[in-house]
Structure 1
Amino acid sequence: MKAGYEAQVKSVVMLKNKSNTLPIKERKTVYIPKRYSPAVFNWWAVYTAPSLDYPVDLEFVKKYYNVTDDPS
């Protein structure tokens, strides 16, 4: 799965760079909402507990952006 994800990340292509969005010249502040996953039983009746977590590794994001808890 990791190799597949890395291949997908490398395959992203920007078609247009309107307003010179990239490269980002200054450190931007971003808000990343947590993602809720409800409790489920899979096909084999294995239970997965509900979770509320970030969809990305925040430590990785913090290398490039300032992360805030305020969505405004």
Structure 2
Amino acid sequence: MDEFPTIRLIVNHGGAIAWIVAILPFLGCLAAFALLQTSWLILLVGLVATMVLLFIMKSYVELVKVVADMLLPQ
């Protein structure tokens, strides 16, 4: 798997990458709430977006792991 560094990165650190990417919408909504004095509903939107994005990212990581396990030489 030396010739596929991105796949190796996702296989090795996919869970952490998924959480980091998924938390970004909530952080953006939290910043908007704090800096722009928006409604508290923006926090709820950020939380829902985080959960949806976490689900999508975790499923992507699992798919990459399955493909790497089945198709790439060990």
Per the TM superposition, whether the score is higher than 0.5 is no
Q: What is the TM-score with the length of structure 2 in the denominator? A: 0.30
Structure 1 or 2: more helix by fraction: 2
Structure 1 or 2: more strand by fraction: 1
If asked which structure has higher relative contact order (CA below 8 Å, sep 6+), I would say 2
Q: What is the TM-score with the length of structure 1 in the denominator? A: 0.30
Larger Rg: 1
